[in-house]
Structure 1
Amino acid sequence: MGPLMTNYSELFDLAGRRVLVVGAGSGIGRESALALAAHGAKVVCADRDAASAAATADLIGAAGEPAVLDVLDPNAVQAAAEQYADCAALVFTAATNVRKRIADYTLEEFDRVMNLNLRASFSLLQAFAPRMAANGGGSIIGFSSIRASVVEPGQSVYAASKAGLVQLARTAAAEFGPAGVRVNVIAPGVVETPLTAQIKDNPDWYGAYAAKSALGRWSRPEELAGAVVYLASDASTFVTGSVLTVDGGWTAVDGRFDPPA
């Protein structure tokens, strides 16, 4: 008798699994929730805004469940982890940015960016990873950014928060890996979401970012959803502590000038 063959048709099958998406009310979070549901998952659509969470759950239908969650409240995060202790995967996309030069930043702005982008991520890991470990495993997926590795003026605190998230995820992967919990982050480039509306409103700025990617354009939120499904599914059972870059080649290409030869 030969070795057991893997049924590759089921690699991305999430049937029977519950996934919690934090930030599901809009943008990448909403598209991720829709994509996970399309592959069979029961999706808890969590967002600080109740109406947005409900709208995403309505788009999904019977497999969607809205939830109000303020990730800045550690008690609320712990309560969610208890309520959804059976989650097979956790996705969190919530983030904010204040674009200012270092000399112009206030400490209040520093705290606002760090609290949502890094402290809340820590709270989610601290609450959910031990429960997943007790259940025999799971997948945790955060959202970093190309700004974790390449920067520009005005991105200091945002970049620091996203770089911090990478190391936080790697450490969680080390600590919870023996219990079967995988922890990874996705690093998008520029995505057309409410967070980047300020740039889109400036044609020169928008065009410069489009030209920086190898594909010559911005990404759409739905183009991040495949990476989320991959990391939540059995297609990635040996992937942990990784940064999955989805940036259209931005960080690969030194593209400020196209030489003649």
Structure 2
Amino acid sequence: MFSLDGRTVLVTGARTGIGRALAVGMAAAGADIVLHGRDDDLDEVEAEVRGTGSRATRWILDLADPRRVPEAVERLGPIDVLVNNAGIIRRSPAAEHSHTAFREVLDVNLESVFLLSQAVGARMLARGSGKIIMIASMLSFQGGVNVVGYTAAKHAVAGLTRALACEWAASGVQVNAIAPGYIATGNTRRLRDDPVRESEIRERIPAGRWGEPEDLVGAAVFLASRASDYVNGHLLAVDGGWLAR
């Protein structure tokens, strides 16, 4: 039930971090992978995917301009699973957070996610099957500090997950989300480089450590496989117990 043999998975933001781990992990479960990147710097992750025995293709698109998404999707072949992982973060106090920075985050983290889900989802609805996996956040549940645009976007991704699930579940398309805890990626480097903040965060995690991108692979394989065919509109926290504290 957890095999992804014969499925084609599109992973956005696949070059590094969570996206890269999910692309390689889902390839190891049998999926062929469409690797999305803002530019063509995907050699390393492509080699890793091919090393599992799965096929890898590239899809280059800058999601900072969401208007390009619908037309760009027309270049894609059939997609069985969409993983909306690509995202950016801008850190500053809310009173100083520029409108430009706020819009940049929402364009990539929300508007492009909706337009990509809509365009790929329409094809899934037409054939009566498909899986969409959003990458949400702990900030889909909490407020955070100095990340007002990111928090707004990730709260909205949680709502978008539920809204699409309500409309599409009866047509055989499951829409769910993974909410990562504090994961050691480029987006969290500033926090990890701050010894005070790093210690505060780690001490609050019941597991006693920051997560690694590979910690999310099992959840992604589950939500992409037949094992989750009756799971709809769920936000699956993979957080080392953060929300339980």
TM-score normalised by L of structure 2: 0.94
In structure 1, the partner of 2:16 is 26
Q: Does 1:95 align with 2:95?
A: no
2:143 & 2:83 partners in 1: Cα distance? 25
Deviant stretches of 4+, over 4 Å: none
Q: 1:118 to 1:75 in 2, by over 3 A?
A: closer
In structure 1, the partner of 2:222 is 230
2:171 & 2:62 partners in 1: Cα distance? 28
Structure 1 residue 85 displacement after superposition: 4.4
In structure 1, the partner of 2:176 is 184
1:14 & 1:218 partners in 2: Cα distance? 28
2:124 & 2:77 partners in 1: Cα distance? 7
| Secondary structure at the counterpart of residue 141 of structure 1 | strand
Aligned partner (choices 19, 42, 45) of residue 35 of structure 2: 45
CA RMSD, 1 decimal: 1.4
In structure 1, the partner of 2:194 is 202
Structure 1 residue 98 displacement after superposition: 1.5
In structure 2, the partner of 1:3 is none
2:172 & 2:62 partners in 1: Cα distance? 27
TM-score normalised by L of structure 1: 0.89
User: 5+ residue gaps in structure 1?
Assistant: 1-10, 254-261
2:147 & 2:122 partners in 1: Cα distance? 33
2:166 & 2:74 partners in 1: Cα distance? 23
What code does the residue aligned with 1:30 have?
R
Q: Does 1:108 align with 2:100?
A: yes
Tell me, yes or no, if the aligned pair for 2:63 and 2:107 is still in contact at 8 Å. Answer: no
Larger Rg: 1
State the percentage of identical aligned residues: 38
User: 5+ residue gaps in structure 2?
Assistant: none
In structure 1, the partner of 2:112 is 120
Instruction: Map 1:1-261 onto structure 2 (within 5 A).
Output: 11-51=1-41, 53-61=42-50, 62-74=54-66, 76-253=68-245
